[in-house]
Amino acid sequence: MKKYIDTGKKDTRSGFGAGLAELGRTNPNVVALCADLIGSLKMDEFIKENPERFFQVGIAEANMMGVAAGLTIGGKIPFTGTFANFSTGRVYDQIRQSIAYSGKNVKICASHAGITLGEDGATHQILEDIGLMKMLPGMTVINPCDYNQTKAATIAIAEHNGPVYLRFGRPAVANFTPEDQKFEIGKALQLTEGTDVTIIATGHLVWEALSAAEALEAKGISAEVINIHTIKPLDDEAILASVAKTGCVVTCEEHNFLGGLGESVSRVLVQNNPVPQEFVATNDTFGESGTPAQLMEKYGLNNKAIEEAVIKVMKRK
Amino acid sequence: MPDTQQLNDLVIQVRRDILRMVHKVNSGHPGGSLGCTEFFVALYNEIMELNDEFDMDGIGEDLFFLSNGHISPVYYSVLARKGYFPIDELNTFRLIDSRLQGHPTTHEGLPGIRIASGSLGQGMSVALGAAEAKKLNNDNHIVYSLHGDGELQEGQNWEAIMYASAKKVDNIIATVDLNGKQIDGATDDVLPMGSVKAKFEAFGWDVLEIKEGNNLEAVITGLKEAKTRTGKGKPVCILLHTEMGNGVDFMMHTHAWHGKAPNDEQLAIALGQNPETLGDY
C-alpha cells in the first residue's frame, strides 16, 4: 500500500483562503463577497491585497447571493463566503433562481460544513448541504479532503464556467496530499490499490479511510481507497472500475446518508453493477454540541467506523 | 419631448400584445403588465442607452432587471418590438418548447433577459451586483430595476435596500410599481406597508415619485429626472403610481385581473378599447 504522510494538521478553510489570495493576484475578474465572517472564511489576505474587489454585505446571505449573481453580469467571477448552513439551506431559493437556473458563474464557498464545526451545535452545522446542492441542475459540487487540495480546488474552480459549490470544514485535519497537485474537476483520485473492498470517501473522511485501510491491511484485508473530491459530476468510471475488482463498497462522508455521496454512488452501482454497499455517514439526524473528535466518534464518522463497515460489507459479498 | 404619437401607438400595441398573449394560453398576468406598459415603453425606447447587439455582460450600455417576473407579457412584448427577438415569437408565450417561459429566464437563451425572476424579492440584489460590476469596469452606465409593491413584503429587498445606500451604489434606479394590489387583494388589506417613500428615505435612498405612472409623458419626465440624480452618492428610487389593468376599463380598479386571462368575449371588448396601431403579431 502506498503510504500517505500527514505533513501537519491544517484547516481546509485556510486552504480556501490561500487559494483565494492567489486568485486575487492572478485573475483580475475574481471578486469576493462575505456575510460578516471574514475571519472564519480566512479571506483576510485577499481583502488586504484587493480591497476594491471585496464586498462585505453584512449578515444578509440572500442579498449576497443576488449581488453575486449580478456581478457575473459584467464578467466578474464572484466567490461568496459564509458557513455551509447559511450558504445553502438559508438561501436555497436565491441559489436556485438567480444562480443555478440563470446559469451564473458564481462560486459558493462554504466553510464549517458537517458536524465537526463542533461546539456551536446543530444550528450552525449542516449535514444536508451536499444533497441540496447536487440536486440543482448545472451545479458542480466539490468537497476536498485537506488543506492542499482545498487550495488547489479553489484555484481550479475559477477556470470552470458555471456555478460551483465548494465545501470545506473548520477543524485542523491531516494535510497529506501534494502541495503542487493538479486539481481536475470530476476526476476521482485512487489513493491505494486493493482487491477486497473499495472505500470511497470525500472531505476529511478520506484521511480516516486511509487510516482504516492501513489497519485493515494488518488484518489481511486489501482496501482500495478512492478520494471523491467532486461529488457532482461523479466519476462513474473510476467507481465502476474499482468495484469490478473488489465487489463491494463502503462510502464515507460527513453528511447525512440521505442525499449525500453514498446515494450518488448507489445510483451508479444499481444502474451498472449492483454490489453490496455500506454507508459511513450520519443516519438522518441533526448534530449537537461537542468537540469534533467526540462528535465523529458518537456519529460513527471515523476510521474505526469505516473498519467496521468494511467487515460488514465484505460478509455480504 | 420625443415623438409621443409613435410611443403612444407603441403603448397601445403592447397592450394588445399582452391581452392576446394571455388570452391565447388562458394563463398569465395581464393586470400588472398593463399597468406598467408606459414605463416599459418609455424605458426601452426613450431612456436607456442600449447596444445594437444583445450581450449578457452588457458592457457599455444601460441594464434593466425585472424583479416581479410575473409581468412577463409586457416585458416580452416591449423586447420583441424593440428588436431583441422576432415579434411573432410572442405566439409561443407559455407554450411547450418556448423561449417565452411563464416567468422570464436566461435558461432558454432569450435575448434581452439577463436573470431569471419569478420567485419574488431577488431582483434588487441582482441589480446591485450588476451596478457594482459596472463600477469595477469603469462603465458609466445605469442599472434600472422594477419591483412590485407587494413584492416589498419579501425580506431580501430590505437587505438589498440597506446595502445599496450603505455602499453608495449610486448608479442604480430602482422603480417600485405602486399599484396597491396583490393576488389576495389590496396591499393595504393583505399586509399594509405604511409609507414606502418614508421607508426608502429612512434607508438612505433618494426617492422621487411619478404620480401619473400611466401618463407616458409624465413617466418619461420622471425617468429623466431620476437619471439626473444618479452619481451623487445615493441610490435612486422611483415610486411609480400605476393602475393595474390600465387601458381596459373592466380590468381597472380591481385586483381580479392580477393573474387571470380574458375569455373570447372579454378579449374582444378589451381589444376594442385599444385599436391596432403598429400591427398585431
- Inter-residue contact A37 to A83 (CB < 8 Å): yes
**A100 interaction partners in chain B (CB closer than 8 Å):** none
Per-residue pLDDT band at B234 (split at 50, 70, 90): very high
Q: Hey, of B117, B143, B159, which one would you mutate to test binding to chain A, going by the most A CBs within 10 A of its CB?
A: B159
Residues of chain A in Cβ contact (below 8 Å) with chain B: 31, 52-53, 55, 57-58, 60, 62-76, 78, 93-94, 96-98, 101-104
**What per-residue confidence (pLDDT) applies to A168?**
97
Contact B129 A71 (CB under 8 A): yes
Question: If you average pLDDT over residues B254-265, what whole number do you get?
Answer: 96
What is the rounded distance in angstroms from the CA atom of residue B193 to the CA atom of residue A145?
49
Cβ–Cβ < 8 Å for B34, B248? yes
Distance CA A270, CA A260 (A): 16
CA angle A62, A112, B163 (to 5 degrees): 25
Cell of B6: 409613435
The C-alpha angle B135, B138, B141, rounded to 5 degrees, equals 75
Nearest CA in chain B to A69: B126
The residue count of chain B comes to: 281
Q: What is the ipTM of this complex?
A: 0.95
Residue A210 has pLDDT above 70, yes or no: yes
pLDDT band at A288 (very low <50, low <70, confident <90, very high): very high
Top residue of A61, A77, A79, A97 to mutate, by most chain B CBs within 10 Å, is: A97
Q: Does B168 touch chain A (CB under 8 A)?
A: no
Nearest to B122 among A58, A76, A94 (CB): A94
Amino acid identity of residue A140, one-letter, is T
Q: Could you read off the pLDDT of B123-146 as tens digits, one per residue?
A: 999 999 999 999 999 999 999 999
Q: Could you give the angle at which helices A205-218 and A303-315 cross, rounded to 10 degrees?
A: 60
What is the tens place of the pLDDT at every residue in A223-276? 999 999 999 999 999 999 999 999 999 999 999 999 999 999 999 999 999 999
The pLDDT, as a whole number, for residue B3 is 73
Quote the pLDDT of residue B1: 56
- Among A78, A186, A90, A191, which residue's Cα sits nearest to residue A142? A186
**Considering only CA atoms, which of B17, B18, B43, B40 is closest in space to residue B257?**
B18
Beta bridge partners of A200: A226, A251
How confident is the model at residue A1, as a pLDDT? 58
| pLDDT-above-90 percentage for chain A | 99
- Rounded to an integer, the average pLDDT of A74-102 is 98
Residues 6+ apart with CB under 8 A from B256: B31
**pLDDT score of A268:** 98
Phi, psi of A300 (to 5 degrees): 70, 50
Contacts of B198 (CB under 8 A, 6+ apart): none
Q: Which H or E run contains A227?
A: strand A223-227
- Candidates B62, B132, B172, partner chain A, best to mutate (most A CBs within 10 A): B132
DSSP for A168-212, written as a single string = --SSEE---S-TTPPP-TT--EE-S--SSEEEEE-TTHHHHHHHH
Contact across the interface for A102 and B107, Cβ inside 8 Å:
yes
Mean pLDDT of B15-24: 98
Q: Which three cell numbers stand for residue B241?
A: 403610481
Q: What does the pLDDT read at residue A167? A: 98
DSSP-derived 3-state class of residue A81: strand
Residue B2 reports pLDDT greater than 90: no
Which candidate from B126, B136, B167 shows the least CB-CB separation from A76?
A: B136
**Residues 73-132, chain B, touching A (beta carbon < 8 A):** 105-107, 114-119, 121-132
What count of Cα atoms within 13 Å lies in the side-chain half-sphere of residue A186? 8
Is B137 in contact with A75 (Cβ distance < 8 A)? yes
pLDDT at B4: 83
Write out chain A residues lying below 8 Å of B166, CB-based. Answer: 58
- Enzyme catalytic residues of A: 61
Contacts of A69 in chain B (CB under 8 A): 115, 125-126, 129
Dihedrals φ, ψ of B182, to 5°? -140, -175
pLDDT at A2: 64
Residue A29 confidence (pLDDT): 98
Contacts of A294 (CB under 8 A, 6+ apart): none
Q: Percentage of residues in chain A with pLDDT exceeding 70? A: 99
What average pLDDT does chain B have? 97
pLDDT band of A8, cuts 50, 70, 90: very high
Mean pLDDT on B208-232: 98
